[in-house]
Amino acid sequence: DGGITQSPKYLFRKEGQNVTLSCEQNLNHDAMYWYRQDPGQGLRLIYYSQIVNDFQKGDIAEGYSVSREKKESFPLTVTSAQKNPTAFYLCASRDDGFSEKLFFGSGTQLSVL
């Protein structure tokens, strides 16, 4: 199946710990995004990457880091500097055609122990 795969579905972080969320796509899309979703709020952009080996900070990048070494993969690390990491994290890739359609993964729920 073509699409975006996020793992794990659920993740728990201990105090002072860094955790990494995986995002893999087989849609051959150049652009990929990481969003954070909190109850009652719209999706907020953490990081985005338009092409391999390039990425830009979004609106709420503090406490997060990313890498884009391969076109298919865009992992997100939630560092210990992120003091309120509990949220639903969504990875997306963008159709390179006219539609600019975003394709989303099924999300990772991160909670703090």
Partner 1 sequence: KNQVEQSPQSLIILEGKNCTLQCNYTVSPFSNLRWYKQDTGRGPVSLTIMTFSENTKSNGRYTATLDADTKQSSLHITASQLSDSASYICVVSRSGTYKYIFGTGTRLKVLA
Residues of this chain that bind partner 1 (CB under 8 A): 4, 6, 31, 35, 40-45, 48, 50, 58, 88, 90, 92, 94, 99-102, 104-107, 109
Least separation, in Å, of the C-beta of 99 and partner 1? 6
Least separation, in Å, of the C-beta of 69 and partner 1? 20
Choose between 6 and 82: whose C-beta lies nearer to partner 1. Answer: 6
Tokens linked to 55:
């990425």
Choose between 5 and 80: whose C-beta lies nearer to partner 1. Answer: 5
User: Using DSSP, how many helices (H) and how many strands (E) does the chain show?
Assistant: 0, 11
If one counts every other C-beta atom within 10 angstroms of the C-beta of residue 65, the result is: 17
Question: How does 74-95 read in b/e, with b if 16+ C-beta sit within 10 Å?
Answer: bbbebeeebeebebebbbbbbe
Choose between 83 and 99: whose C-beta lies nearer to partner 1. Answer: 99
